[in-house]
Amino acid sequence: DTGVSQDPRHKITKRGQNVTFRCDPISEHNRLYWYRQTLGQGPEFLTYFQNEAQLEKSRLLSDRFSAERPKGSFSTLEIQRTEQGDSAMYLCASSLGRGAANEKLFFGSGTQLSVL
């Protein structure tokens, strides 16, 4: 168990540029979640995958955001035409996905995005 890994740890970009983040979940974890956390707030749910299928997306996830999880392994989150309001910590979490009673999310350390 090497934990959930996110790359990069920090990303600084200019407004209008595209950025992509990567998340490597704990091996054998079927579920993968993306959350966003802004300063002084708790994390907010963005989307989640069960294996390679994206099952739910929050209304927070505008058309500029897209997430993939090819082959049910790692996941990427892309933000197109970044805006200053996208500045936040993007958190990834994974879990075994064996029902609510057993659900336990393991979080990565996050990618801190700053849009100038």
Partner 1 sequence: AQSVTQPDIHITVSEGASLELRCNYSYGATPYLFWYVQSPGQGLQLLLKYFSGDTLVQGIKGFEAEFKRSQSSFNLRKPSVHWSDAAEYFCAGGAGGTSYGKLTFGQGTILTVHP
List the one residue from 23, 61, 79, 91 that touches partner 1 (CB under 8 A): 91
- With CB under 8 A as the contact rule, which of the stretches 18-26, 62-70, 75-83, 100-108 interacts with partner 1? 100-108
Per DSSP, the chain holds a count of helices (H) and strands (E) of: 0, 11
Residue among 33, 21, 15, 38 at smallest CA distance from 88: 38
Q: What does 26-51 look like in DSSP terms, one character per residue?
A: -TT--EEEEEEE-TTS--EEEEEEET
Q: How far is the CB of 88 from partner 1 (least distance, A)?
A: 14
> Which residues neighbour 99 within 8 Å (Cβ) at sequence distance 6 or greater?
none
CA–CA separation, 16 and 68 (whole Å): 21
The reply to whether 40 sits near partner 1 by the rule CB under 8 A is: yes
Mark 50-69 with x for binding to partner 1 (rule: CB under 8 A) and - for no binding: -----xx-------------
Q: Which of 23, 93, 113, 115 binds partner 1 (CB under 8 A)?
A: 93
Which is nearer to partner 1, 82 or 94 (by Cβ)? 94
- The phi, psi pair for 16, rounded to 5°, reads 95, -15
Given the complex with partner 1, which of 71 and 100 has the nearer CB atom?
A: 100
Question: Can residue 4 be called a binding residue for partner 1 (CB under 8 A)?
Answer: yes
